[in-house]
């Protein structure tokens, strides 16, 4: 953590970042649902910072591969690198998104696409994610699963998900509050979810082979794997 303080600086205590991706900003149903998680985490002692992707400048990944060559540098000058630094500085991340055609909303997918180096190098190792998803139908399992998957490929374990229909009912808000508490508890206890860790280890072995083969083109990632002792 100390080599990557992000926006939280070197303050002590639990730091949780909420990334809310609805274009409706503070009027978003999903943001209200995520508010339950925030309250639960705060009640357990966490400091929470919120980033609304609405209004942020987020360009598409151009697949230039600069982030694979030189560590985490990205030549695109927009808001993504700053948000990624906040992710790196947090102990836990809440991803809130409306269900758009059984996927995350485009701004969040655009941010995810900009984190290729986080994925290859599992830079979110030791962190935990949760998701909050809302939709017209209330059927959000594919989106919950996708966000959990995204976190794991970056090295973060998933604490869980909460979802709702077009209105966050009391029961969903209660569930969200409990999930916020669980997220804080996982961070405090450094909880291990064995199946998730196994999945991450398998993926790291897979990437170590690719990175070895591409060590000249992806020299930044190759060096990172060497430093971590991840090359077999």
Stretch that binds ligand FMN, among 21-29, 68-76, 82-90, 178-186 (CB under 6 A): 21-29
Phi and psi angles of residue 20, each rounded to the nearest 5 degrees, phi first: -110, 125
Contact by Cβ (8 Å): 207, 231: no
- Which of 62, 102, 169, 191 is in the footprint of ligand FMN by CB under 6 A? 102
The residue among 24 and 39 lying less far from ligand FMN, judged by its C-beta, is 24
User: Cα separations (Å) of 121 from 67, 151, 207, 230?
Assistant: 11, 12, 8, 10
Stretch that binds ligand FMN, among 93-101, 147-155, 182-190, 202-210 (CB under 6 A): 93-101
Distance CA 154, CA 44 (A): 25
Nearest to 16 by CA among 45, 57, 52: 45
Non-local (6+) Cβ contacts of 32 within 8 A are: 168, 173
- Which of 55, 77, 101, 229 is in the footprint of ligand FMN by CB under 6 A? 101
The residue among 27 and 213 lying less far from ligand FMN, judged by its C-beta, is 27
Pattern of binders to ligand FMN over 136-175, x per CB under 6 A? xx----------------------------x---------
Nearest to 85 by CA among 96, 71, 98, 97: 71
The residue among 102 and 141 lying less far from ligand FMN, judged by its C-beta, is 102
* Element holding 195 (H helix, E strand): helix 194-213
- Which of 66, 79, 100, 199 is in the footprint of ligand FMN by CB under 6 A? 100
CB of 31 vs ligand FMN, minimal distance in Å: 6
- Which of 6, 92, 98, 155 is in the footprint of ligand FMN by CB under 6 A? 98
Distance CA 119, CA 225 (A): 13
3-class DSSP state for residue 128? strand
CB of 96 vs ligand FMN, minimal distance in Å: 7
Nearest to 167 by CA among 134, 132, 131: 134
The residue among 2 and 101 lying less far from ligand FMN, judged by its C-beta, is 101
- Is 69 among the residues that bind ligand FMN (CB under 6 A)? no
Distance CA 62, CA 67 (A): 11
CB of 8 vs ligand FMN, minimal distance in Å: 26
CB of 184 vs ligand FMN, minimal distance in Å: 24
Footprint on this chain of ligand FMN (rule: CB under 6 A): 22, 24, 28-31, 98-102, 134-137, 166
């Amino acid at each position: 953590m100390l080599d990557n303080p992000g926006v939280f600086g070197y303050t002590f205590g639990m730091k949780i970042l909420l990334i809310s991706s609805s274009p409706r900003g503070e009027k978003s149903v999903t943001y209200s649902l995520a508010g339950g998680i925030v309250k639960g985490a705060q009640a357990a002692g966490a400091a929470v910072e919120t980033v609304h992707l609405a209004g942020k400048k987020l360009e598409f990944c151009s697949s230039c591969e600069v982030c694979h060559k030189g560590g985490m540098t990205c030549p695109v000058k927009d808001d993504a690198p700053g948000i990624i630094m906040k992710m790196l500085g947090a102990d836990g991340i809440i991803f809130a998104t409306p269900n758009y055609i059984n996927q995350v909303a485009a701004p969040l997918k655009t941010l995810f696409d900009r984190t290729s180096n986080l994925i290859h190098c599992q830079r979110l190792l030791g962190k935990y994610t949760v998701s909050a998803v809302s939709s017209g139908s209330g059927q959000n399992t594919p989106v919950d699963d996708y966000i959990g998957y995204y976190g794991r490929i970056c090295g973060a374990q998933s604490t869980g998900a909460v979802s709702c229909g077009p209105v966050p009912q009391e029961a969903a808000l209660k569930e969200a509050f409990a999930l916020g508490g669980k997220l804080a508890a996982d961070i405090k206890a450094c909880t291990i979810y064995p199946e998730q860790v196994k999945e991450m280890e398998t993926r790291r072995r897979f990437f170590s082979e690719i990175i070895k083969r591409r060590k000249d083109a992806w020299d930044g990632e190759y060096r990172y794997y060497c430093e971590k002792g991840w090359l077999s």
